[in-house]
Chain A
Amino acid sequence: MTSARRADAIVIGAGIVGAACAAALARDGFQVTVLDRAFPSAGTTSVGMGHIVAMDDSPEQLALSAYAQRLWHDLAPELDPRSELDHCGTLWVAEDDAQFAAVRAKRDVYAAAGIASEILDARALADAEPNLRPGLAGALYVTGDMVVYPPGATLRLLDIARANGARVRSGEEAVEILPNGVRCVHETYHAEVVINAAGPLAARLTPGLPIVPRKGHLAITDRYLGFVRHQLVELGYLTSAHVMTNESVAFNVQPRATGQVLIGSSRELVEWEASLNRDILAQMLRRAEAFMPALGELSVIRTWTGFRPATPDKLPLIGPWDAVPGLWIASGHEGLGITTSLSTARLLVDQIVGRAPAIDPTPYWPARVHSASAA
């Protein structure tokens, strides 16, 4: 039986991007319905690191993530303990003098985007993170970066949405996106605005979106409070993340509020093959041990894999999808979805209601690929 329900806005996907969109829309007065095929934070959001990071991969990425960092600071007072917000900052670690020379340029790029950072020399780095190996050249300390527990932050954003009248429907799988509507298995929903925030699954509902799953591995240790104090990322990370080679690993470890150490990261293009790849896991852990030899003695209690929604040009898809009336896209965030969920939501809602966005929205428009594929 098909019945019609009316809503001003439907958000497909209750991951952190969908939750942020729902909160922003509901606060702007929309009657919002969030649909998720499973439950809030069931997909990519539940398997990521939760690093809130200003990322200078490209000027557009930096604009979006720097804006997001400000929005997370604004949201901080509204977060609850479930979100486990930690203002630990990021240390971009330079292995040698050549990398350390690049740190100065990186600081200037951040400064131009309004992101504060400090250069740490070898000694200051050793003081900041005693478990890093001796002989590293230094680091760039980005003070405003943070860490959250993504499922907790997602639940909080959905609470904010609900407090503003939104409904969240778990176990409601979108089958087809219609003009101003969504067909689910049992019901069809109609709304002026439909947002596809289905993460790596977004392309199944909107054919033509150039989103592929990019697999990652993570490992988490038992509790070792104070072993790591900042999110630590090697300067070579951007190369690993940027180049769409088949597989790569990078040193990227994170202190959790529990005292656990979360160890990443890896990237693979293997479609939806979710099983643990022992070789990649071992490579990833060896890379981490190369920077932090003492890590080798810590006890790993769990490992897992997940899929990032990746696009060919490494930028997310945020904006209208002209082929379907009422449809907006908010997906393709690759490894930056937790960070840029908030800026994505603000950019999207500003455009939907016709307000001037805080940053230029055009680089993220899905039309860039739509027109490319139509040509």
Chain B
Amino acid sequence: MTQSCDVLVIGGGPAGIAAASRAAEAGARTMVVDEGASPGGQIWRPKLTGHQPSVARQWLARLAASEATVSPRTTVVDLQVSAPRSFIVRAERSGIPTIIGARALVLATGARERFLPFPGWTLPNVFGIGGAQALLKSGTRFDGKRVVIAGTGPLLLPVAASLSAAGAKLLVVAEQSSRARVARFAAGLWNAPATLAQAARYRAGFFGAPYSMNSWVVRAEGDDRLRRVVVRVGTETRTLECDALCTGYGLVPNTELARLLGCVMRGSVVFVDADQSTSTDGVYCAGEPTGVAGVDSAIAEGQVAGLAAAGRASDAAPLRRVVSRRAAHGRGLDRAFALRPEIHTLAASDTIVCRCEDVRLGQLDRGWSARQGKLYTRAGMGPCQGRICGPALECLMGWSADSVRPPVFPARVRTLSSPAKTGDSAETSERNHDAPA
């Protein structure tokens, strides 16, 4: 299948939805590709109950009302510049090879959870907070279950509130950062009363459980499943019998597509200018890949990127103040919830550090480079392509991310073997919305 468009938005979370809506409203032939069954991304993934925050409902309705085409269940596995401001994108749509030609790209690829290995982290019933949220939304029952939540950052609060509302008995919400840092961050929110109010609502949602600073999980223990966790609270160590553990050590921006295109990076995030333009002509980036700063930031950046990709950057002026204010908020988050050194040394020599290939920390030699680690032990060589173990190995061993080669996600042989022809005449056949808004 071959399609073409003016603006291709990759990722259907808040940034992508905002970008696609604005680009389409500006008159560009716009397409959004997303891995999910319907737009929304991780954060606006529809719940079984159908309830969505009002901002999500507004943007999903705006996208549906626009002329943008949505391609669900679509995974981009490769993209390349075929000529200046002309891109060939190779994707799988429900497993079917698809080639999409585009004149501009908006990379709105979001972020994934950061997993840090500690003894017992691979036991059944140890989840990431995103995984726990997904289980809740898909109807998994937590009522009466004893749950420990541990990690860092504001994302611990909504999952604590949701689990509490689902009837779980929260034993503790352990925040590894110090009370002073968290307080300093909260004080900085004086000009963002909505954020403070939301945090207070979440906190009220798990009122019965302690929200404990300077606290982290030292190890999880169990047999065929999790039985208990050992938690460090300040200077003391406590053992808590429990049924589930949810950990959240922050987010890792998904920058693979930008790196494949050779976009300039600033540290671990994609460098963009005031138009959300990357260093590659015609490639824009919005949301977490440019820095984790929350959903409001993603929506503002997405709008700027969508307008700029449609050639209407001048219309984005009013949004730029929001973007820069939210970027400052993002930097504040990074400072307030930076990982303490103890978190980096929890893994023992028999702790698995690469789940795909079953590599334990003790198999790795600190004198090796990342590439030696891969070649000698297969660490990072499995189907996750280093997405889970890569950030962990960076923390534990100081090994930085490898260069990116296609396919950026596992792809069928026939997807990679199909000829990359994008007849520009091959107009997108219908402009329907495949997904209900």
The closest CB in chain A to the CB of B88 belongs to A278
Q: What chain B residues lie within 8 Å of A297 (beta carbons)?
A: 412-414
**A296 B414 Cβ-Cβ under 8 A:** yes
Interface residues of B (CB under 8 A from A): 78, 80, 368-369, 371-372, 375-376, 381-383, 385, 405-407, 410-414, 416-420
The closest CB in chain A to the CB of B371 belongs to A42
**B405 A289 Cβ-Cβ under 8 A:** no
**A289 B375 Cβ-Cβ under 8 A:** no
Give the number of A-B contacts (CB < 8 Å): 75
**B418 A282 Cβ-Cβ under 8 A:** yes
B94 CB, min distance to chain A CBs, angstroms: 13
1/0 contact string of A135-149 vs chain B (CB within 8 Å): 000000000000000
B170 CB, min distance to chain A CBs, angstroms: 38
B100 CB, min distance to chain A CBs, angstroms: 15
**A296 B405 Cβ-Cβ under 8 A:** no
The closest CB in chain B to the CB of A151 belongs to B375
A263 to B414, CA, bound (A): 13
The closest CB in chain A to the CB of B384 belongs to A301
Please judge, given known A-B contacts A39-B369, A46-B375, A155-B376, whether A298 and B413 are in contact too, CB under 8 Å.
yes
A155 to B363, CA, bound (A): 14
**B383 A222 Cβ-Cβ under 8 A:** yes
B346 CB, min distance to chain A CBs, angstroms: 28
**A296 B413 Cβ-Cβ under 8 A:** yes
The closest CB in chain A to the CB of B407 belongs to A300
A152 to B363, CA, bound (A): 14
A282 to B419, CA, bound (A): 7
Q: Could you list some 15 contacts between A and B, CB below 8 A? A: A39-B372, A222-B410, A278-B80, A278-B420, A281-B416, A282-B416, A282-B417, A285-B414, A285-B416, A296-B413, A300-B413, A300-B416, A302-B405, A303-B406, A304-B405
User: What interface size band does chain A fall in?
Assistant: 20 to 34
CB-CB nearest 10 A-B residue pairs:
A285-B417, A296-B414, A299-B410, A151-B375, A286-B417, A301-B410, A282-B417, A296-B413, A301-B383, A222-B383
**A285 B381 Cβ-Cβ under 8 A:** no
The closest CB in chain B to the CB of A221 belongs to B413
A298 to B414, CA, bound (A): 8
A153 CB, min distance to chain B CBs, angstroms: 12
A131 CB, min distance to chain B CBs, angstroms: 12
Give 4 A-B pairs besides A285-B414, A300-B413, A303-B406 with Cβ atoms closer than 8 angstroms.
Answer: A39-B369, A289-B413, A300-B411, A301-B410
User: Is A219 an interface residue when CB atoms closer than 8 A count as contact?
Assistant: yes
Residues facing B in A21-46 (CB within 8 A) are: 39, 41-42, 46
A219 to B376, CA, bound (A): 19
User: Is A352 an interface residue when CB atoms closer than 8 A count as contact?
Assistant: no
The closest CB in chain A to the CB of B414 belongs to A296
B361 CB, min distance to chain A CBs, angstroms: 18
Q: What chain A residues lie within 8 Å of B369 (beta carbons)?
A: 39
Q: What chain B residues lie within 8 Å of A85 (beta carbons)?
A: none
B83 CB, min distance to chain A CBs, angstroms: 15
A83 CB, min distance to chain B CBs, angstroms: 12
**A296 B417 Cβ-Cβ under 8 A:** yes
Q: What chain B residues lie within 8 Å of A278 (beta carbons)?
A: 78, 80, 406, 420
The closest CB in chain B to the CB of A220 belongs to B381
B420 CB, min distance to chain A CBs, angstroms: 6
Q: What chain B residues lie within 8 Å of A151 (beta carbons)?
A: 375-376
A296 to B414, CA, bound (A): 5
Q: What chain B residues lie within 8 Å of A155 (beta carbons)?
A: 376
A263 CB, min distance to chain B CBs, angstroms: 7
A299 to B376, CA, bound (A): 23
B75 CB, min distance to chain A CBs, angstroms: 11
Q: What chain A residues lie within 8 Å of B375 (beta carbons)?
A: 41, 46, 151
A293 CB, min distance to chain B CBs, angstroms: 9
Residues facing B in A216-242 (CB within 8 A) are: 219, 221-222
**A300 B418 Cβ-Cβ under 8 A:** no
A207 to B419, CA, bound (A): 41
Please judge, given known A-B contacts A219-B416, A282-B420, A286-B417, whether A276 and B410 are in contact too, CB under 8 Å.
no
The closest CB in chain A to the CB of B385 belongs to A301
B406 contact from A39, A263, A276, A289, Cβ within 8 A: A276
A299 to B381, CA, bound (A): 14
B142 CB, min distance to chain A CBs, angstroms: 32
The closest CB in chain B to the CB of A82 belongs to B376
User: Is A288 an interface residue when CB atoms closer than 8 A count as contact?
Assistant: yes
**B385 A263 Cβ-Cβ under 8 A:** no
A140 to B416, CA, bound (A): 30
A301 contact from B80, B382, B417, Cβ within 8 A: B382
A221 to B407, CA, bound (A): 11
A31 CB, min distance to chain B CBs, angstroms: 24
Q: What chain B residues lie within 8 Å of A39 (beta carbons)?
A: 368-369, 372
Residues facing B in A270-314 (CB within 8 A) are: 276, 278-279, 281-282, 285-286, 288-289, 295-304
A115 to B412, CA, bound (A): 37
Q: What chain A residues lie within 8 Å of B78 (beta carbons)?
A: 278
Q: What chain A residues lie within 8 Å of B420 (beta carbons)?
A: 278-279, 282
**A263 B413 Cβ-Cβ under 8 A:** yes
The closest CB in chain B to the CB of A39 belongs to B372
